[in-house]
Amino acid sequence: MELTGKQRRHLRSIGAKLSPIVKIGQKSFSETVLNEVEFSLDQNELIKIQLVGSEGKERKVLAAELAEKVKAHLVQVLGKSVLLYRENSKLENKKLV
């Protein structure tokens, strides 16, 4: 399922208030980082990640790669911040209805 523009705007408005849960400072993702991102997505559906130590276009490529590895939607890349969303049907407080 692809996110609509309206859904992306809604998620971005929620994500603006979030603090980064995970900070990634390398150009590749270790199993520990991937596990932490997976766990955070399971608990929250929408998470903010900070990519430090990477440059402009490289951040977008890394963000897309990370989203693909954890099977999440890449909602936004803004500066060093990345917003990821993955639906969890078991959560009571859904980010998207």
CATH number at residue 33: 3.30.110.60
Q: Does residue 41 belong to any structural domain of this protein?
A: yes
In a domain, 97, yes or no: no
For residue 12, how many other CB atoms are within 10 A of its CB? 14
- Domain membership of residue 65 (yes or no) is yes
| 94 is a domain residue | no
In terms of residue numbers, what domain contains 9? 5-85
Domains held by the chain: number: 1
Instruction: Indicate the burial class of 7 (C-beta count within 10 angstroms; 0-12, 13-18, 19 or more).
Output: middle
Residue 92 included in any domain: no
How far apart CA 34 and CA 30 sit, in angstroms, is 6
As given in the structure block, the two tokens for residue 25 are 């400072």
With respect to residue 90, please indicate whether it lies within any of the assigned structural domains. Answer: no
The structure's pTM equals: 0.90
Per residue in 17-71, pLDDT (tens digit) is: 999 998 888 767 888 989 999 999 999 999 999 998 778 788 899 999 999 999 9
* CB of 55 closer than 8 Å to CB of 86: no
pLDDT in tens, 59-76: 899 999 999 999 999 999
* 93 is a domain residue: no
Residues 22 and 36 sit within 8 Å (Cβ to Cβ): yes
